[in-house]
Amino acid sequence: MADTRNAGRPLSPHLQIYRGGLTMLMSIVHRITGVALYAGTLLLVWWLTAAATSDQYFDFVQAVFGSWIGKLVLFGFTWALIHHTLGGIRHLVWDVGHGFNLKDVEMGAKLTLAASIILTLILWAIALGVS
């Protein structure tokens, strides 16, 4: 039987061949924020359940979310939501056939990252200013 392992076929690309870049990182972060949104939705369900259960339980959940660690988790959830949404918009632009050249792809990745950070900070500044 002939040895077909090296039959002149190219090796399948893997992480040791690819040069990591911003677009690769943004793809990974988009998936991670999707998972984070799932976990954050469970926190939203917990909060709504507490609101429907009793005043004491709702006050407990509010205290958890109002603690420094709760606010940190909510800040992360807010950033994940905004970042994932902006990444989805970027993919929608690609789906209609725009922004495929390398310069546009890199610029879209940079804008998504910068805008998600800026919008999160603005949203939290407004929220903290109101309360």
Q: What residues form the annotated binding site for heme?
A: 84
Q: How far is CA 24 from CA 15, 19, 33, 75, 117, in A?
A: 11, 9, 14, 24, 19
3-state secondary structure of 2: coil
Angle at 94 between CA 93 and CA 99, to 5 degrees: 90
Q: Which residues contact 48 (CB under 8 A, 6 or more apart)?
A: none
Q: Please tell me the distance from the alpha carbon of residue 70 to that of residue 76, in angstroms, as a whole number.
A: 10
CA distance linking residue 128 with residue 118, whole number of Å: 15
